[in-house]
Copies of this chain bind each other. A is one copy, B any other.
Amino acid sequence: MTALAQRIAREFGSPAVVIDLDRVERNIARVQAACAAAGVANRPHIKTHKIPEIAKMQRDAGASGITCQKIGEAEVMSEAGLDDILISYNLIGEDKMGRLAKVMERATVTVAADNPTVVAGLPRAAELSGRTLHVVVECDTGRKRAGVETPAEAIALAKDIASRPGLSFAGFMLYPPEDAMEITQKFLDQATAGVREAGLEPRIVSTGGTPNVANLGRIKGATEHRAGTYVFNDRMMLACGAATMDDLALTVVGTIVSRAAPDRGIVDTGSKTLTSDTGGLEGHGLILEHPEAKIAKFAEEHGFLDLTKCNDRPKVGDVVRIVPNHVCVVVNMVDRLVATRGDEIVGELAVAARGKIA
């Protein structure tokens, strides 16, 4: 593998972000099988790869549709032919409704909402497209991010959605903390009972998260799951037990550029490549050739290596492979991934939805 990394550095430049398509396919198949075993649909989140070709691999393996976080991602994916998209985000503003309407002309679209201001804006997209917009109520069962905090709010928002022209109440979207299955079940049961009393049916109950793949089947009433990171995995997924070393499908190829002192060095992957997302872990990545080396801190293009615990220390010019802490943000730094299969380079994939923040 080091020979391959050296070849990649030579042919594509260092640093380079590299995926192994054999591993990607295995990861896709494994989570698809886990969803099937639990009797839920698989709606992978494309925020991790942002590559239409990989979304199509997920679809062809059995995914029922995809999840996007921003409308810019949904634009790219729907233009590439992905035709069933959940945008798991509160969309606000006249400009976004115009863009959403265009996506709705190419794909079946469901969006999330957690407040009446968002819901009040959505009919405009239905009106502009002449199509029904499906809306799930985002519910928060402990993550304290977006999402209504009580079943009562969820029920009220469901009724609000159902009362609006062009909108269809589609169900509930959850992203439960991994240790909050009971709380989540209780929330969902109450919210479901409440909307049924109002004559509404949650035909979608969407759960999320790669670590929650291990919890599939534990939420009764769940109909689909949204996992993203599993397609590549990272050091966070290793740390929480959601992936093994064999499931790591993405590495960053970097080069040691300085060894100014015995106990330290510099690798050419700084915060503009690996990003400062720590994922709560010590150090900024795992160097496969030197696991005892710590990427202790960053400048923009410098990774500061602490080699004090390293017996076999890298020298200037050595090419290394790094598993990033958080893979989703690393992919978003580059325009292209180098694609490999085992020891072969098979091409490049454009990260077509990179940087689609709006």
Contacts and interface: CB of A to CB of B under 8 A. Distances in A.
Interface in A37-55: 47
Interface string A306-337: 00000000011100000000001100111100
A70 B275 contact: no
User: What does DSSP make chain A's interface, helix, strand, loop or mixed?
Assistant: loop
B149 A260 contact: yes
Given A117-B315, A148-B260, A334-B355, 7 more contacts: A9-B93, A69-B301, A89-B301, A92-B316, A115-B259, A117-B317, A271-B329
Contact of A140 (B145, B148, B260): B260
24 contacts: A10-B94, A13-B96, A14-B358, A15-B358, A47-B301, A89-B301, A90-B257, A90-B258, A90-B266, A90-B316, A118-B257, A140-B260, A144-B261, A145-B258, A145-B266, A145-B304, A146-B266, A146-B302, A147-B260, A271-B277, A275-B276, A276-B278, A334-B357, A335-B355
A272 B59 CA distance: 25
A328 B300 contact: yes
Q: How many copies does the complex hold?
A: 2
A288 interface: no
Contacts of A222: none
Contacts of A333: 332, 355, 357
Sorting the interface of chain A by its residue count into under 10, 10 to 19, 20 to 34 or 35 or more gives 35 or more
A78 interface: no
A88 to B, nearest CB: 9
Interface in A17-72: 47, 69-70, 72
A273 B278 CA distance: 16
A95 B329 CA distance: 27
A72 B89 CA distance: 35
Interface of A: 9-16, 47, 69-70, 72, 89-90, 92-96, 99, 114-115, 117-118, 140, 144-149, 255, 257-261, 264, 266, 268-269, 271-273, 275-278, 298-302, 304, 315-317, 328-329, 332-335, 355, 357-358
Contact of A357 (B10, B69, B92, B272): B272
B115 A258 contact: yes
Nearest to A354: B355
Contacts of A271: 275, 277, 329
Nearest to A14: B358
Contacts of A301: 47, 69-70, 89, 357
A44 to B, nearest CB: 15
